[in-house]
Amino acid sequence: MLVNQGTKRSLIARPLLLLLAVLLSVWTRQSPVNAQTVLSPTPFMPLHDRVNPGSAIPIAADLENDPEQSGAVEEKIFHIPLIFNESVESQIEYFTTRGRAVFQAWLRRSARYLPAMKKIFREQNLPEDLVYVAMIESGFNPHAVSQKKAVGPWQFMRATAREYGLNTDHWVDERKDPIKSTRAAAAHFKDLYQIFGSWPMVLASYNAGMGRMQGAVLKAKSDDFWELRASRFIHQETQEYVPKYMAALIIAKDPVAYGFRDPEPEPFEYDEIEIVTCTDLRRIAEYTGCSYQEIRDLNPELLLPMTPKSRYVLRIPPGTKEACQLSLAKVSVQERKFRKDRDRARSGGLLFSRLSSSYRDTAPAKPPQTTIVSPFGAQLDFPTVPLGGEGANASRSQALNRPGGEYRVFP
């Protein structure tokens, strides 16, 4: 059969056109919010080390402060692929209006912990921008406690904390330790990425829990967060969690562009000293030439105003290790112990860890006294002078200020 040249060209072009149509149909079915960079299953190298910086998204310049920059945008490189959609924009609007004061406080606290936390994530070959999860979890507050009893900057529940090697007992709660808890968070992120293979899904799982997100994937027959978000299979809090994180990250990368003050660097620096027996933290403050509160701030995991009875590595201000060691060597074990007005052994059930956090060295000469019983059986008279400051619990302070009051904590 004879076929002219036009027919030949038609027969050749038809499959090509069909293939092109299929490709276009696939492309057009993708919503713009799903257009994201996907990490390969060999997981943890930071994104900026592994791909071209195509994940950068524009951040509008502060046009009110610099009118000449009208129409200009500043490119910021992110270590996690971001989506800029209406949900993220809505969260940015909230943080820059009604939530402005809170976000500024988050930025201020972040200056203390970000360098150390980012270093840990880099050491673990994780995207360092994951540290901003701690911003939306706790505002980088090591003493944060949720209604569900999640604790610390990374808001670990007790069971998850123990799974990742964090100790929680009457002496310490390592969920509050900004270094140890960050290492645990890094390990948790790695595990979640091995399961879900997508950072938006990892973030959602961090909020909702691995099991709940796995169930949502099975029900929705999709492992794409943005598709799950549009379904009824994940809770409202989780639906907003990833946009909230992305909004916080975008602002934190360039706070001045959004009208925030750039926080002054306040690195979390310290020396470490091994304490071999239970030692009063006020002794340590005396030997290092700093305040009691500085010692507490460097060791937020300590629940009592003393080190544990077993060996413990204590953080002290940088440059004070030698002086502290020399001073400790000159005092006996008995002199190191917590100083108290009365030491009478008796059994009891009052845990004075929570009360200890309200103790202040600068107590009046004869403050009202609260009798407490430690876990190891010593009855102590303790001044009920609350420690003021950001996030103080008013009801607790009122209870502690009542003469002879008790504050009972059940483990």
Report the pLDDT value the prediction gives residue 80, as an integer from 0 to 100.
87
CB 165 within 8 A of CB 178: no
Listed by start position, the domains of the chain span 82-258, 269-339, 341-411
Report the pLDDT value the prediction gives residue 255, as an integer from 0 to 100.
96
Whole-model pTM: value is 0.68
Strand runs labelled E in 52-131: 57-60, 73-76
In whole angstroms, give the CA distance from residue 53 to residue 14: 38
Report the pLDDT value the prediction gives residue 265, as an integer from 0 to 100.
86
Name the least confident of 163-177, 187-201, 272-286, 362-376. Answer: 362-376
Q: Which residue would you say has higher pLDDT here, 56 or 252?
A: 252
In this model, does residue 60 exceed pLDDT 70? no
In whole angstroms, give the CA distance from residue 382 to residue 370: 5
In whole angstroms, give the CA distance from residue 241 to residue 212: 15
Q: What is the third-level CATH fold of 82-258?
A: Lysozyme (1.10.530)
Query: In the structure, what pLDDT confidence band is assigned to residue 77 with cuts at 50, 70 and 90?
Result: low
Q: What is the mean pLDDT of residues 121-150?
A: 96
Report the pLDDT value the prediction gives residue 140, as an integer from 0 to 100.
98
Whose tokens are 């406080």? That residue is 105
Q: Which residue would you say has higher pLDDT here, 208 or 76?
A: 208
pLDDT digits (tens, 9 = 90+) for 169-180: 999 999 999 999
CB 126 within 8 A of CB 46: yes
Q: How far is CA 346 from CA 354, 373, 388, in A?
A: 20, 8, 31
Report the pLDDT value the prediction gives residue 331, as an integer from 0 to 100.
85
Name the least confident of 43-47, 191-195, 288-292. Answer: 43-47
Report the pLDDT value the prediction gives residue 266, as an integer from 0 to 100.
86
Q: What is the mean pLDDT of residues 369-393?
A: 43
pLDDT digits (tens, 9 = 90+) for 344-369: 333 344 444 444 444 444 444 444 45
In this model, does residue 299 exceed pLDDT 50? yes
Q: What is the mean pLDDT of residues 216-237?
A: 94
3-state secondary structure of 257: helix
Average pLDDT, the chain: 75
Name the least confident of 28-32, 50-54, 304-308, 382-386. Answer: 50-54
Which of 318, 324, 281, 327 shows the shortest CA–CA distance to 300? Answer: 281
- Taking the mean position of all CA atoms in its chain, how far away is CA 164? 15
